[in-house]
Chains A and B, each alone.
Chain A
């Protein structure tokens, strides 16, 4: 049988951010691009996101947040992943970001830190690059 590797992405939202449109748009776009997209739902804890990412054996975690907390969220999720023994899972982030946030995130190894209005193609190309 042929190899059937599909890119699996977990779209995750941590904390008290109500904005869901970005996450939902990503879900359907990823599906239409032949990926398997899983959504945690809103108001997750970092531990919940780490458990979900490991359980689903995803290739990438995409963090979405519009409260200006992405660096804090990413750090907490990375710490929880580490507790599970996972140190190599790519994380990308998108939503509300300052230039300072981007620098902090990149230092943690979080890439593709996209703000509003980023063309979908840029995000897709980035995911395909980090997923393999």
Chain B
């Protein structure tokens, strides 16, 4: 199936974005993601529509790991694998926003450039922007949009530092964590919580010394898990396409195994999505009060805790007023 369809004039608004998505026109999706990223008018309507149509039949994959371990190179090879069997692939590649300028260099696409002319592959680069402790808001919601669009396979590449990789694991079916030899030790991985979220470990750059040792170290740590749940550890040389078939096989096995706990995982994911929406809303509601409260704390008329309490009360009061208006 072709993802790209032709013939369209002008820039679609929200309604147009929705109907274009329904018609499987890529400009609908691309526009929808921008609407979500930029908090444009009609964002909620768009997301509600996407949520209702989101297909759980899409297979979602997450790839995470430290900067430069070869995530994009591996994703590139994985896309190639799925394209050989004719599956459509949607990719979301997240790179960090500069905390200094708010800008970003989005470089993942460079490693996947061979798919640029392919109409069955859609790649979108996203900047992490202001992520409230984890996967950027836009990424979470873009996942709905991808599901509503109905790719066979959806791939999310995120930078694995701290919370991010834990977050991505909640939103995708199978999470692959990449490691490379000679890059810190396994204690650090344990600290970061990486060991808990990986369904599968890939030791990339196995052309370098230390790959076998690292594999053994990781396997040792995983030894405490029950054998059925123990994540496979595989070696790859992604830029030479080596080891990819084994990775794909392992991913398929993990998928089957996890399908058994599908219901429970789905529920957890929904809980997480609601929680994250609530937090984002609250953070937005609190924003206009922050400067004023900081002033009060600085002049010592209040502690930060009291300031927070006051903001919460103000927000609650605002809600009550809204409710009253609605009931009249």
Contacts and interface: CB of A to CB of B under 8 A. Distances in A.
B179 to A, nearest CB: 26
Contact of B30 (A1, A37, A55): A55
Contact of A57 (B31, B102, B129, B284): B31
A28 interface: yes
Given A1-B280, A44-B116, A85-B8, A56 B124 contact: yes
A22 interface: no
Interface string B3-25: 01011111100000000000000
Given A87-B9, A88-B10, A33 B30 contact: no
Contacts of A4: 37-39, 129-130
Interface in A28-45: 28, 30-41, 44-45
Contacts of A55: 26, 30, 122-124
A5 B103 CA distance: 11
Nearest to B138: A4
A52 B118 CA distance: 10
Interface in A77-128: 83-88
A56 B125 contact: yes
A52 B37 contact: no
B217 interface: no
Interface in B281-309: 284, 287
A54 interface: yes
Interface in A8-47: 27-28, 30-41, 44-45, 47
Given A4-B38, A31-B98, A37 B103 contact: yes
A48 B116 contact: yes
Contact of A3 (B9, B26, B38, B129): B38
B193 interface: no
A2 B102 contact: no
Given A31-B98, A54-B30, A84-B6, A6 B109 contact: no
Contacts of B34: 57
A37 B106 contact: yes
Interface in B144-187: none
A49 interface: yes
Contact of B103 (A1, A31, A40, A44): A31
A85 B105 contact: no
Contacts of B106: 36-39, 56
B116 A6 contact: no
Contacts of B129: 4, 6
B270 interface: no
Centre residue among B117, B122, B130 by max chain A CB count within 10 A: B117
B127 interface: yes
A57 B30 contact: yes
A37 to B, nearest CB: 5
A17 B98 CA distance: 29
A21 to B, nearest CB: 15
B38 A40 contact: no
- Of residues B8, B40, B105, B280, which shows the largest number of chain A Cβ atoms within 10 Å of its Cβ? B105
Interface of B: 4, 6-11, 26-27, 30-31, 33-34, 37-40, 98, 100-107, 109-110, 113, 116-117, 119, 122-125, 127, 129-130, 280, 284, 287
Given A52-B116, A86-B27, 6 more contacts: A1-B280, A1-B284, A31-B105, A36-B125, A57-B33, A84-B27
20 contacts: A6-B127, A27-B107, A31-B105, A32-B98, A33-B101, A35-B103, A36-B104, A38-B106, A39-B105, A39-B106, A40-B116, A41-B109, A45-B117, A47-B116, A47-B117, A52-B123, A55-B30, A56-B125, A85-B27, A88-B10
